[in-house]
């Protein structure tokens, strides 16, 4: 394992620039943390005004230190930070953490200063963490580094933890004695001036002391890189992500439907899902999930047996299991027979199995073992509520033994008297995973259950191959020169070139021109207004369908002109599209847009009127393979209609998928495309041909 980040976590020597002798200040408290956690390396404290702080000799400047130093931690006031970093450069320190705040996050001068820091770091090959961060922790016995101002000391485990927010990390560290959260390595990345989540992912991927990676993120520094990195890692080490800032405004001022439907959080959801990360909602869920992944095996499936000594909690648990898409096992006859031999006759032998309050440690153990032997049980959930005459310690110790031995996951929720926990901790039963609630563990079990199918999906995912030909590319390049909305005639030309099934149509200036050219189309037709001033044609009465003859066409023109006047839209720049009228079929939408962080994205869902009605917005990252496109269609709400609803003939979804692949190539290969949508694509049952009735492409301005 070698990486430029290694010395952040495994320094043999550190220096503190800005250590202070003032009790209560950060410069004092961090040194106190380092000393009380008994860092195994050397500490060089720099302070020109003090002789000793907390018993440690001070140097008046870094230049005075004769030994080499692995890691510098800068706590200086903002105005001295730049000088501090230069000192580090001169001393050839390659790893620096800047805790001081007041840089990019405050804008203005602070932001300028941060740029300077980055420049100096780059010039001197320094890896920089922060500024505006909270420090670093490594709880490994050979290191014991706690360079944060958190007073509480976490226990060691193989979990690595990143927090974008220093305060959130502080809140977590402050309560660690109560929650029992543990980790091996912790880093607070602050402003991510240099080192970001992607660097740390790569480092932890190769660090053998890290089994599980957990991250609190507010933003992605480079979404595409995050996606690729996590995709490579997550089948080996679970990557658990708490992504905050869900409510961040989505793609603003989106012109297409697709853009309007895509909130940034929706895309984050898709990205995390597709790269195999596990998304959690709360800090508690993040830690408990990480800790469970370390200790509990992954189940084969989602069938759960529930064993309890109390009815009410089991009912609440079943509600939560269902909410998390977990199923209750149908127990085999043999299992029930065996349980009947050991349990009271009045017990409940369905699933949950309620053994009644009298169940002893021995009964719990035997019943658990019987259930785990059942083929229909993928995991076992044990509930224990302390009854008056039963000893909690006996029962939980015996279940803990079963949990440790079992190749199937055994989850335990226990409600003993409070004093129990002290005794439990004392005895050191820390390997056991016991939850104190009924709400969180089903979520964690869902994460465990999702792990196997996710890994399978990641490993078998087909490489994308289809591409546009050179000829197609150069043709399209010419058609995609406009800024903003691409003119319909170019859209039509692009469709023809790419063999996208656009409905036959004419572009005309007025009825007279239409009359002359109409012979190339067959009635019935549709008349649509075409103008850069009109974004949603239907809204202003700019579309008239099912026009059966020339006479009707003339009055349709008149009607639309009236509607334009009503809406105070000048006729001057207006054109008209006359299009074959596509009757029947199901309306779907295919869309795409370029996410600022993750790049091109493809959408599929119910089209036409249903778009805003049912929000059938299914996204995936572009480029898509045909099989990925089919997956997306299958997860849509409209899919039941496509596969033949109530005895109707089904639609050829292969055909839709092929259209999606072409569109995905389009947005993937032409960075000038900002958004597009095809709405509706009318798809027909059986051998009927799909038709694009409307397609819009919007270029970057």
Between residue 333 and residue 392, which ones bind a copy of itself under the rule CB under 8 A? Answer: 346, 356-357, 385-389
Identity of the residue, 477 or 538, whose beta carbon is nearer to a copy of itself in the bound complex:
538
- The answer to whether 583 contacts a copy of itself (rule: CB under 8 A) is no
**Closest listed residue to residue 457, CA positions, set 223, 231, 229:** 231
Least separation in angstroms between residue 324's CB and a copy of itself is 11
Per CB under 8 A, contacts with a copy of itself among 11-40 are: 24-26, 29
- Tokens 């130093």 sit on residue: 69
Among residues 512, 522, 614, 689, the one that binds a copy of itself under rule CB under 8 A: 614
Which range, of 282-290, 400-408, 575-583, 588-596, touches a copy of itself by CB under 8 A? 282-290
- The answer to whether 330 contacts a copy of itself (rule: CB under 8 A) is no
611 CB-near residues (< 8 Å, 6+ apart): 257, 261, 589, 605, 679
Among residues 38, 57, 125, 177, the one that binds a copy of itself under rule CB under 8 A: 177
Tally of helices (H runs) and strands (E runs) in the chain: 25, 31
- The answer to whether 417 contacts a copy of itself (rule: CB under 8 A) is yes
Least separation in angstroms between residue 444's CB and a copy of itself is 16
- The answer to whether 641 contacts a copy of itself (rule: CB under 8 A) is yes
Token readout for 218 is 């507010």
Identity of the residue, 192 or 454, whose beta carbon is nearer to a copy of itself in the bound complex:
192
**Closest listed residue to residue 660, CA positions, set 637, 638, 690, 700:** 690
**Closest listed residue to residue 127, CA positions, set 156, 183, 89, 169:** 89
Beta strand 145-147 pairing with 135-138: antiparallel
- The answer to whether 584 contacts a copy of itself (rule: CB under 8 A) is no
As to burial, measured by CB atoms within 10 angstroms (0-12 exposed, 13-18 middle, 19+ buried), residue 282 is: exposed
Token readout for 424 is 């439990």
Per DSSP, which regions of 303-376 are E strands? 303-308, 327-328, 353-354
- The answer to whether 297 contacts a copy of itself (rule: CB under 8 A) is no
Least separation in angstroms between residue 441's CB and a copy of itself is 13
Per DSSP, which regions of 244-302 are E strands? 278-280
Per CB under 8 A, contacts with a copy of itself among 83-122 are: 101-102, 106, 110
Among residues 60, 83, 119, 312, the one that binds a copy of itself under rule CB under 8 A: 312
Q: How far apart are CA 374 and CA 355, in angstroms?
A: 18
Identity of the residue, 322 or 700, whose beta carbon is nearer to a copy of itself in the bound complex:
322
Per CB under 8 A, contacts with a copy of itself among 215-274 are: 216, 218, 244-247
- The answer to whether 178 contacts a copy of itself (rule: CB under 8 A) is yes
Identity of the residue, 202 or 284, whose beta carbon is nearer to a copy of itself in the bound complex:
284
Identity of the residue, 206 or 535, whose beta carbon is nearer to a copy of itself in the bound complex:
535
Q: How far apart are CA 237 and CA 228, in angstroms?
A: 14
Beta strand 618-621 pairing with 575-580: unpaired
Which range, of 122-130, 198-206, 367-375, 633-641, touches a copy of itself by CB under 8 A? 633-641
What is the pattern of x (binds a copy of itself, CB under 8 A) and - over residues 514-553?
----------------------x-xxxx------------
- The answer to whether 164 contacts a copy of itself (rule: CB under 8 A) is yes
Least separation in angstroms between residue 56's CB and a copy of itself is 19
- The answer to whether 311 contacts a copy of itself (rule: CB under 8 A) is yes
**Closest listed residue to residue 287, CA positions, set 445, 439, 159:** 159
Cα dihedral sign for 107, 110, 112, 114?
A: negative
- The answer to whether 153 contacts a copy of itself (rule: CB under 8 A) is no
697 three-class SS: strand
- The residue length of the chain stands at 701
Cα dihedral sign for 624, 625, 626, 627?
A: negative
Least separation in angstroms between residue 111's CB and a copy of itself is 12
Least separation in angstroms between residue 346's CB and a copy of itself is 4
Per CB under 8 A, contacts with a copy of itself among 432-461 are: 436-439
- Please report how the helices 653-669 and 488-498 are oriented relative to each other, as an axis angle in degrees rounded to 10: 120
Cα R_g (the chain), whole angstroms:
32
Which range, of 317-325, 374-382, 423-431, 592-600, touches a copy of itself by CB under 8 A? 317-325
- The answer to whether 424 contacts a copy of itself (rule: CB under 8 A) is no
- The answer to whether 409 contacts a copy of itself (rule: CB under 8 A) is no
Identity of the residue, 69 or 434, whose beta carbon is nearer to a copy of itself in the bound complex:
434
Contact at 8 Å (CB) between 17 and 47?
no
Among residues 551, 612, 687, 701, the one that binds a copy of itself under rule CB under 8 A: 612
Contact at 8 Å (CB) between 187 and 8?
yes
**Angle at the Cα of 184 (from 58 to 29), degrees rounded to 5?**
30
584 CB-near residues (< 8 Å, 6+ apart): 682, 684
Among residues 464, 645, 662, 669, the one that binds a copy of itself under rule CB under 8 A: 645
- Please report how the helices 626-634 and 653-669 are oriented relative to each other, as an axis angle in degrees rounded to 10: 120
Which range, of 6-14, 225-233, 281-289, 371-379, touches a copy of itself by CB under 8 A? 281-289
Identity of the residue, 354 or 472, whose beta carbon is nearer to a copy of itself in the bound complex:
354
- The answer to whether 170 contacts a copy of itself (rule: CB under 8 A) is yes
């Amino acid at each position: 394992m070698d990486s430029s980040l290694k010395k952040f976590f495994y320094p043999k020597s550190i220096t503190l620039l800005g250590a202070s002798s003032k009790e209560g200040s950060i410069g004092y408290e961090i040194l106190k943390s380092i000393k009380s956690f008994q860092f195994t390396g050397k500490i060089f404290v720099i302070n020109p005004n003090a002789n000793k702080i907390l018993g440690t000799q001070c140097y008046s400047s870094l230049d005075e230190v004769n030994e080499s130093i692995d890691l510098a931690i800068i706590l200086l006031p903002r105005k001295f930070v730049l000088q501090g970093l230069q000192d580090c450069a001169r001393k050839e320190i390659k790893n620096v953490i800047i805790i001081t705040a007041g840089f990019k996050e405050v804008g203005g001068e602070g932001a300028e200063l941060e740029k300077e820091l980055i420049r100096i770091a780059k010039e001197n090959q320094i890896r920089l963490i922060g500024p505006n961060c909270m420090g670093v922790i490594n709880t490994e016995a050979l290191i014991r580094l706690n360079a944060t101002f958190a007073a509480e000391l976490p226990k060691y485990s193989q979990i690595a933890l990143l927090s974008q927010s220093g305060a959130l990390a502080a809140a977590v560290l402050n309560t660690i004695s109560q929650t029992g959260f543990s980790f091996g390595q912790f880093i607070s990345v602050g402003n991510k001036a240099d080192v970001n989540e992607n660097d740390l992912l790569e480092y932890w991927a190769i660090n053998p002391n890290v089994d599980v990676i957990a991250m609190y993120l507010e933003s992605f520094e480079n979404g595409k890189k995050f996606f690729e990195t996590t995709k490579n890692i997550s089948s080996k080490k679970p990557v658990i992500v708490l992504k905050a800032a869900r409510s961040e405004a989505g793609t603003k001022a989106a012109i297409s439907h697709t853009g309007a439907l895509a909130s940034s959080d929706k895309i984050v959801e898709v990205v995390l899902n597709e790269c195999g990360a596990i998304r959690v909602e709360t800090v508690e869920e993040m830690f408990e999930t990480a800790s469970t992944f370390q200790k509990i095996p992954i189940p084969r499936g989602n069938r759960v047996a529930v064993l309890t000594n109390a009815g009410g909690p089991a009912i609440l648990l079943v509600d939560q299991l269902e909410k998390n898409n977990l199923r209750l096992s149908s127990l085999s006859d043999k299992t029930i027979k065996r349980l009947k031999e050991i349990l009271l006759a009045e017990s409940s032998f369905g699933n949950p199995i309620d053994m009644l309050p009298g169940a002893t440690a021995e009964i719990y153990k035997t019943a658990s073992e019987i259930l785990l032997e059942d083929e229909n049980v993928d995991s076992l959930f044990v509930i224990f509520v302390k009854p008056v005459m039963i000893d909690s310690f006996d029962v939980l110790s015996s279940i803990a033994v079963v949990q440790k031995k079992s190749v199937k996951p055994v989850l335990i929720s226990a409600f003993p008297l409070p004093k129990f926990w002290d005794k439990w901790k004392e005895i050191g039963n820390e390997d056991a995973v016991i939850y104190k609630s009924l709400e969180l563990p089903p979520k964690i079990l869902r994460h465990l259950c999702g792990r196997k199918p996710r890994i399978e999906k990641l490993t078998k995912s087909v490489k994308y191959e289809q591409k546009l030909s050179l000829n197609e590319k150069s043709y399209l390049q010419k058609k995609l020169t406009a800024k903003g909305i691409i003119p319909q005639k170019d859209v039509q030309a692009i469709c023809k070139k790419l063999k996208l099934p656009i409905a036959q149509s004419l572009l005309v200036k007025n009825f007279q021109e239409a009359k002359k050219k109409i012979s190339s189309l067959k009635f019935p037709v549709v008349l649509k207004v075409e103008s850069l001033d009109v974004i949603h044609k239907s809204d202003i009465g700019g579309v008239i369908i099912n026009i059966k003859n020339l006479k009707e066409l003339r009055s349709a023109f008149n009607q639309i002109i009236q509607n334009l006047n009503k809406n105070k839209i000048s006729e001057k720049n207006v054109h008209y599209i006359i299009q074959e009228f596509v009757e029947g079929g199901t309306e779907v939408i295919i869309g795409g847009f370029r996410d600022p962080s993750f790049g091109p994205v493809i959408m599929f869902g119910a089209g036409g009127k249903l778009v805003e009605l049912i929000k059938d917005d299914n996204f995936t990252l572009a480029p898509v393979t045909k099989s990925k496109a089919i997956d997306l269609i299958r997860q849509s709400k409209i899919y039941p209609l496509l596969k033949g609803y109530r005895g109707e003939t089904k639609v050829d979804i292969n055909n839709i998928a092929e259209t999606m692949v072409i569109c995905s190539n389009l947005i993937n290969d032409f960075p000038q495309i900002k958004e597009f949508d095809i709405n509706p694509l009318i798809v027909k049952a059986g051998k009927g041909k799909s038709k694009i009735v409307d397609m819009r492409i919007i270029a970057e301005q």
